[in-house]
């Protein structure tokens, strides 16, 4: 993945008017609380409606057990969305958090608590960012089949900066008997209307 799909293309951020490069971003949406399918669809639709974000593709839906959460946490439904944007990663993160809030996301202290909607910024071009409230690439993405498998579905050439080709990361996790498995749910789909 490169910083921009075409390094000669720049566009104005309609919110600030600044000229910024268009970069490809990868987002993972998940839900394990409430109406999971509707939450994912609503999150995807909200991203489609986000100014300065052009959603390119959405993966099939996957189901997986909650990772690092309470024992009674329900299974997650997840999708990966790729998009082109002129937004800075920080601004995109703020918009993702606003979408989560719109779907009733609560932020308890307990790590891995069930949530109505989770919208994680996985990658922003080939950028590396380490700030108090934002780390890109997502620090645990390389360990998460529920991120990697749907990402590979929408981008067979996917590359996670600092970690390698997604197809190789999936193979490495396949060799780990303790890695949580994911199940593709072809009976469910998210649309980009």
Give pLDDT tens digits for 6-40. 444 555 555 566 666 799 999 999 999 999 999 99
Question: Would you state the pLDDT for residue 53?
Answer: 97
Domains of the chain: 10-184 (3.30.70.560)
Of 141, 149, 145, 115, whose CA–CA distance to 31 is shortest? Answer: 115
Task: Report d(CA 32, CA 74) in Å as an integer.
Answer: 6
Task: Report d(CA 53, CA 83) in Å as an integer.
Answer: 6
From residue 48, how far is each of 55, 96, 149, 192 by CA, in Å?
Answer: 6, 12, 22, 7
Note the pLDDT tens digit of each residue in 109-136: 677 778 999 999 999 999 999 999 999 9
Q: Is the pLDDT assigned to residue 149 strictly greater than 80?
A: yes
Question: Would you state the pLDDT for residue 28?
Answer: 98
pTM to 2 decimal places: 0.88
Q: Is the pLDDT assigned to residue 2 strictly greater than 50?
A: no
The 3-class SS string of 78-137 reads EEEEEEEECCCHHHHHHHHHHHHHHCCCCCCCCCCCCCCCEEEEEEECCCCEECCCCEEC
Catalytic residues: 105, 115, 118, 120
């Amino acid at each position: 993945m490169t910083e921009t799909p075409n390094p000669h293309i720049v566009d104005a951020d309609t919110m600030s008017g600044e000229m910024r490069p268009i970069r490809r971003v990868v987002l993972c949406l998940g839900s394990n609380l409430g109406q999971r399918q509707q939450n994912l669809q609503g999150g995807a639709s909200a991203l489609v409606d986000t100014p300065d974000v052009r959603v390119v593709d959405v993966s099939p839906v996957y189901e997986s057990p909650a990772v690092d959460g309470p024992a009674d946490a329900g299974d997650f439904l997840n999708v990966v969305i790729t998009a082109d944007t002129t937004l800075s990663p920080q601004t995109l993160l703020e918009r993702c958090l606003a979408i989560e809030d719109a779907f009733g996301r609560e932020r308890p202290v307990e790590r891995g608590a069930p949530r109505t909607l989770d919208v994680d910024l996985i990658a922003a071009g080939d950028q590396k960012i380490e700030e108090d409230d934002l780390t890109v690439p997502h620090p645990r993405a390389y360990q998460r089949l529920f991120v990697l498998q749907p990402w590979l579905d929408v981008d067979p050439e996917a590359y996670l900066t600092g970690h390698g080709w997604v197809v190789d990361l999936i193979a490495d996790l396949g060799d780990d008997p303790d890695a949580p498995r994911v199940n593709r749910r072809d009976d469910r789909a998210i649309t980009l209307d």
